[in-house]
Amino acid sequence: MPTADLDSAIATAVKARTINNGESCIAAKRFIVADAVYSVFERRFVDGMAALKVGDPLDEATEIGPLATEKLLQDLDSQVQRLVTAGATVLTGGKRPDRPGNFYMPTVLVNVDRKSPPYSEELFGPVAMLFRAGDVTEAIRIANETSFGLAASVWTDDRSEQQRFIDEIEAGIVFINKMVVSDPRLPFGGVKHSGYGRELSGHGIREFSNIKTVSIAA
């Protein structure tokens, strides 16, 4: 949102999309940006994604390594190509690099048709989709038009906006002005097609317990 610290938000966005090569359930995948700051966010986010070094994961300078399997790579590329066929524009990446291995270039897509089938699928790799939102209401509507609901990262310094996002985003986890992470002190889990119940913290321990009910007459 317009009140967010853009420097921190953009740097975190690049990291959040590409951590573990983008193969993480809580990696950021859809970026919903207010009109007022969209142009700046798009330009700097694309620059950040394009600058990432793809290469040997054993090289300390590498920032994006190979995906786990050839099948995952093929599936990801198929999703990107289907989105492009449906009208999406590739601002960077969108293909495999010319090298052996299960590598995929860090990719940013815009003008994504939200009715195209791949939009409702998880992109499990370094591929980001950007969306414009006119206000908080539209941002929440876009955020919620998915069958998944694991986690959301919200960036705004406006307290009333923060509360609306916390209350109205359909996700099991909401982080404000920080990247979503798994923390053993916090309950972890989603809603909708992102699972049932919680793991970690005291809530997670209780999920694994089998409580015996005993009632004794007075």
pLDDT digits 0-9 by tens, 161-218: 999 999 999 999 999 999 999 999 999 999 999 998 999 999 999 988 999 999 999 8
Classify residue 193: in a domain, yes or no: no
The CATH number that applies at residue 103 is: 3.40.309.10
pLDDT digits 0-9 by tens, 74-133: 999 999 999 999 999 999 999 999 999 999 999 999 999 999 999 999 999 999 999 999
Q: What is the number of structural domains in the chain?
A: 1
Residue 188: per-residue pLDDT: 96
Among candidates 117, 112, 163, 99, which has minimal Cα distance to 142? 112
Q: 3-class SS at 93?
A: coil
Classify residue 209: in a domain, yes or no: no
Classify residue 218: in a domain, yes or no: no
Classify residue 167: in a domain, yes or no: yes
Classify residue 196: in a domain, yes or no: no
Residues 54-77, mean pLDDT to the nearest whole number: 96
Classify residue 192: in a domain, yes or no: no
pLDDT digits 0-9 by tens, 23-49: 999 999 999 999 999 999 999 999 999
Structural domain of 30: 6-182
pTM beyond 0.95: the answer is no
